[in-house]
Structure 1
């Protein structure tokens, strides 16, 4: 795998294929800032139709706080390879085992952070084996299936993918309105041309399989609560994918630290990156590598 030069990582960071026991995954790896005492490593998982670039604005402030951050494209996402039409490799457990392989490849316990779909994939990984992780942060990621309004959007996308090519679907998405209003694949870090390329890079089978998972995900909060890890539930002040009150209840059931980022919606990492980065680092700072 080679990483095409269509995205410039933050200063000091590099994009490369992370080699794991389950194949290569495209990552952006940002080291701790010069002169700063290292405090840990974080593995960042993006959401549905998203990519590692969604964490672009978090790398520098977290590096300044002493954290190396590794943002990854999951199997079939953007620059990570995967089958185009076979959905079996995108089953939830398969994606979870990819996360465990990514953590193992980094060679040290990590702070696991997943946004939206990435949070549910990360949860599945933690439920298989929590030992590679120092903590687990769910960013705008709820306890079960997505809200009814978002279910309709995902189903519409599913239906479109069954009939059209990826470039055709992109044009249909843009025809729905301005990118900032349409959201989804048309929203993220970078120019519209980069977002289009990210969309076209996604494998249709990945989108079909993970979209279906968002529609059917069971509530596994009780299982997760039994895992001996520190939990953090972070969200914006508004969220149309999982209501904020639902995230509040999940945090309480998990005994989790709770952060609500003012002025942010479903993607606080993009909407309000500085307070989001500081909330993550504040939580991680409290966790010793030898803590349970």
Structure 2
């Protein structure tokens, strides 16, 4: 899971409820500095939340973008039903489409981190006109790496038979040895991470895990999307193999940003470098036809 390094809201950022046609979603909404260059909708990953993007909201705002990070249905502060149907791929995709519409800013740039990338892909395929572009952040077609698949299977099995608190303790142990090792969490951050876990619906965790284990490749679907596509990931990514992400970018003709020194969560570890890559991609997307944005 991504772990924010601070819970302080960046300047010009407020936590609020976003009312949509599919119910309310709690978001962090960051207003841009100066004239607005565009609006970005940010979808978090497995066991994550809107706070995973806290470090990214400031740089995006400074770059002139309104950035809105969302708790998905059943994640953290956003309520969700207990039933399995609410967390199927199409249902989550419809949520993202409704969130984009409720922002009332025309087509928005869509960014999905890890599991959020699976939701973003489905949303873009369902309603491409709702989005200006699609960025898969540390996410891609194909299967996740074997260690992560094993972890997800174990987590889903444990949630079915053990108290949530016991599973949380196991998650902490695994994370200290996984893609986001412990870096000396403050008591405030430790309390937040536990609270987030306890607030997230078991059905959401089980449904998200099921989608992560899906064997469907998805490259053809991405190639068929009628909107600009971007893969952004750390050079040390370990949930999806970097070689697989590079190959997917080649096969789909997507723009690509590889962040040196970053692992699975460049949104936490390298927010400025990620912002530079995102903004460079969006500048190309928004450039008038025939105008080059190359340096």
Does 2:93 match 1:104?
no
**Paired residue total:** 281
Alignment of 1:157-168 (within 5 A): 157-168=155-166
Give 1:91's match in structure 2, choosing from 80, 88, 93: 88
Residue 285 of structure 2 aligns to a residue whose secondary structure is: coil
Between stretches 159-168 and 233-242, larger displacement belongs to: 159-168
TM-aligned CA distance change 1:290 to 1:180, over 3 Å = farther
Distance, in Å, in 1 between the alignment partners of 2:49 and 2:39 is 19
Alignment of 1:32-181 (within 5 A): 32-33=32-33, 36-84=34-82, 86-107=83-104, 108-174=106-172, 176=173, 179-181=175-177
Does 2:289 match 1:287?
no
User: Is 1:43–1:113's contact at 8 Å kept on the other side of the alignment?
Assistant: yes
Give 1:239's match in structure 2, choosing from 237, 243, 266: 237
User: Is 1:233–1:259's contact at 8 Å kept on the other side of the alignment?
Assistant: yes
Distance, in Å, in 1 between the alignment partners of 2:131 and 2:271 is 23
TM-score by length of 2: 0.90
TM-score by length of 1: 0.91
Residue 181 of structure 1 aligns to a residue whose secondary structure is: coil
Distance, in Å, in 2 between the alignment partners of 1:121 and 1:169 is 25
CA RMSD of aligned residues (A): 2.2
User: Is 1:130–1:227's contact at 8 Å kept on the other side of the alignment?
Assistant: yes
**Structure 2 match to 1:18:** 18
User: Is 1:49–1:185's contact at 8 Å kept on the other side of the alignment?
Assistant: no
Residue 213 of structure 2 aligns to a residue whose secondary structure is: helix
Gaps of 5+ in 1: 1-6
Gaps of 5+ in 2: 1-6, 290-295
TM-aligned CA distance change 1:82 to 1:21, over 3 Å = same
Residue 129 of structure 2 aligns to a residue whose secondary structure is: coil
Deviation at 1:184, TM superposition (A): 6.8
Distance, in Å, in 2 between the alignment partners of 1:185 and 1:96 is 31
Distance, in Å, in 2 between the alignment partners of 1:97 and 1:290 is 30
TM-aligned CA distance change 1:136 to 1:248, over 3 Å = same
Distance, in Å, in 2 between the alignment partners of 1:183 and 1:200 is 21
Give 1:229's match in structure 2, choosing from 227, 231, 234: 227
User: Is 1:259–1:279's contact at 8 Å kept on the other side of the alignment?
Assistant: yes
User: Is 2:46–2:115's contact at 8 Å kept on the other side of the alignment?
Assistant: yes
TM-aligned CA distance change 1:180 to 1:56, over 3 Å = farther
User: Is 1:186–1:196's contact at 8 Å kept on the other side of the alignment?
Assistant: no
